[in-house]
């Protein structure tokens, strides 16, 4: 039976690693969880039904891109993104904050107005205010909505980071007002602060004062060293409310995820599985495999004997090598599917090890395995 309201249950801990469950009207999400990225209403190169078969529990969409295409009018006719893309499970949407950073040459920030974009498609002026971002996410019918924030590029300049916290806090307040009272959905706040412990704690405390259904760590995975990311998580994650889900945005590699789970993070998203799939890089229990490599030309073994989605376990590494060398689109489709399947198997093993109290052993075995 599906739940009428959004809620979170913390079921077990193994040191700082947490086992939990997010309950939503669209289905439950066992955590730690990985969310494949479907920026424009599709996880690139993979059929929606196949995503479901990988045991993916939730996917991510993007407010900025879906506002531009197909637009809220079309999405509204379908009742949101779920029916539009044939996905009946939860959806989380990024607010457009990441595009403020990634498309920084095409926008400027005004704390009162919002982010003023020049569309990367046709040059049209687009104003994405905190209120507009929430309105669009409601049209998308997102189950987990993110506040609009300013995500600064990697910098050691405390003045820039403090400025981003000021903007993000103000926008978080306005986002919550626009979100209103809807217990069937969730609104997450996003903490900034770069690699500075004092600034990140300041941001977290300001968000807690406003009050959200979950809390995200933003402004990481933007080019800093992995060890620096782990260190700031170690120093600040405990300041997040224990009874709410914790989300590390834009992360990452299996090792990134493992290290962040070790510091108490519950949710992750990244384009890594599909982007790697498009370049011929496969994630497997044998490690990372560059299938472009000539050593796979005569390899008759599949990527994973256990993955029968689209008969993936019937395709040899030799065949995949051939597809890559022939520049066939099927190569990226099959390897991307494998990678999403692997990521979800990896998350399942993380959850099982936390449940069994053996997470530290799993962590030690795999933290350097994919280097």
**Catalytic residue positions, numbered:** 94, 269
Give the residue carrying structure tokens 């409601």: 138
Give strand ranges (E) for the chain: 7-14, 17-24, 27-31, 33-36, 59-62, 91-94, 107-110, 114-118, 125-128, 144-146, 186-191, 214-217, 246-248, 267-270, 281-284, 287-290
Longest dimension (CA), the chain: 61
Q: Which residues contact 343 (CB under 8 A, 6 or more apart)?
A: 34, 36, 254, 273, 283
DSSP string, 227-245: HHHHHHHHHHGGGS-TTS-
Residue 9 bridge partners (DSSP): 21
> What is the Cα–Cα distance from 367 to 54, expressed in whole angstroms?
23
Q: Which residues contact 225 (CB under 8 A, 6 or more apart)?
A: none
Angstrom distances, CA of residue 57 to CA of 25, 30, 71, 198, 322: 13, 8, 25, 35, 33
């Amino acid at each position: 039976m599906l739940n009428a309201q959004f809620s979170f249950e913390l079921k077990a801990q193994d040191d700082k690693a947490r086992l939990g469950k997010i309950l939503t009207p669209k289905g439950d999400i066992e955590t730690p969880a990985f969310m494949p990225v479907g920026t424009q209403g599709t996880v690139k190169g993979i059929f929606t039904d196949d995503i479901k078969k990988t045991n993916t529990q939730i996917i991510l969409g993007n407010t900025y891109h879906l506002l531009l295409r197909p637009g809220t009018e079309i999405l509204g006719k379908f009742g949101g993104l779920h029916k539009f893309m044939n996905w009946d499970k939860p959806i989380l949407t990024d607010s457009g904050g990441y595009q403020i950073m990634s498309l920084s040459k095409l926008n400027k920030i005004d704390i009162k107005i919002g982010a003023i974009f020049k569309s990367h498609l046709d040059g049209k002026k687009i104003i994405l205010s905190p209120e507009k971002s929430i309105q669009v996410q409601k049209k998308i019918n997102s189950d987990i909505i993110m506040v609009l924030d300013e995500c600064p590029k990697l910098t050691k300049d405390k003045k820039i980071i403090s400025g981003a916290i000021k903007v993000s806090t103000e926008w978080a307040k306005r986002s919550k007002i626009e979100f209103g009272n809807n217990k069937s959905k969730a609104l997450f706040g996003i903490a900034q602060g770069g690699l500075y412990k004092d600034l990140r704690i300041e941001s977290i405390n300001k968000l807690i004062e406003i009050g959200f259904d979950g809390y995200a760590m933003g402004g990481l995975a933007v080019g800093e060293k992995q060890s620096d990311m782990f260190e700031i998580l170690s120093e600040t994650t405990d300041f997040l409310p224990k009874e709410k889900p914790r989300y590390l945005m834009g992360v990452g590699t299996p090792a990134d995820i493992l290290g962040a789970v070790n510091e108490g993070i519950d949710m992750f998203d990244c384009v890594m599985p599909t982007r790697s799939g498009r370049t011929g890089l496969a994630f497997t229990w044998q490690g990372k495999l560059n299938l472009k490599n000539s050593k796979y030309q005569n390899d008759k073994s599949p990527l994973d004997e256990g993955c029968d989605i689209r008969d993936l376990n019937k395709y040899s590494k030799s065949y995949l090598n051939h597809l890559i060398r022939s520049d066939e689109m099927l190569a990226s489709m099959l390897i991307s599917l494998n990678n999403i399947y692997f990521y979800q198997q990896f998350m399942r093993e993380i959850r099982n090890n936390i449940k069994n109290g053996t997470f530290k052993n799993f962590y030690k075995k795999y933290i350097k395995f994919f280097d």
